[in-house]
Amino acid sequence: MFADKFLHNLGIYSERMITEHSAGGNSAFFETASFPWVNRIEENWRTIREELDGILAKGQSIPNFQDISKEQAKLADGEQWKTFFLHAYGHKAEVNCALCPQTARLLELIPGMKTAMFSILAAGKHIPEHRGPYKGVLRYHLGLIIPPPQGACRIRVRDEVQIWKEGGSLIFDDSYLHEAWNDSTSVRVVLFVDIVRPLPFPLSLLNHFMLWLISVSPAVRQAMENIVRPVSHPKPV
Cα(230)–Cα(121) distance, rounded to whole angstroms? 21
Cα(222)–Cα(237) distance, rounded to whole angstroms? 32
Question: What pLDDT, in 10s, does the model give residues 54-80?
Answer: 999 876 578 765 555 555 545 556 567
Read off the pTM: 0.87
Examine residue 79 and state whether it is found in any structural domain, yes or no: yes
Query: Tell me, what CATH number does 106's domain have?
Result: 2.60.120.330
Average pLDDT along the chain: 84
Domain of residue 153: give its range: 23-197
Can you give the pLDDT at residue 4? Answer: 56
Are 226 and 96 in contact by the 8 Å Cβ rule? The answer is no
Examine residue 83 and state whether it is found in any structural domain, yes or no: yes
Examine residue 204 and state whether it is found in any structural domain, yes or no: no
Count of domains forming the chain: 1
Question: What pLDDT, in 10s, does the model give residues 12-57?
Answer: 777 777 877 776 667 899 999 999 999 999 999 999 999 999 999 8
More confident residue, 38 or 203: 38
Examine residue 235 and state whether it is found in any structural domain, yes or no: no
Examine residue 2 and state whether it is found in any structural domain, yes or no: no
Find the largest Cα–Cα distance for the chain. 59
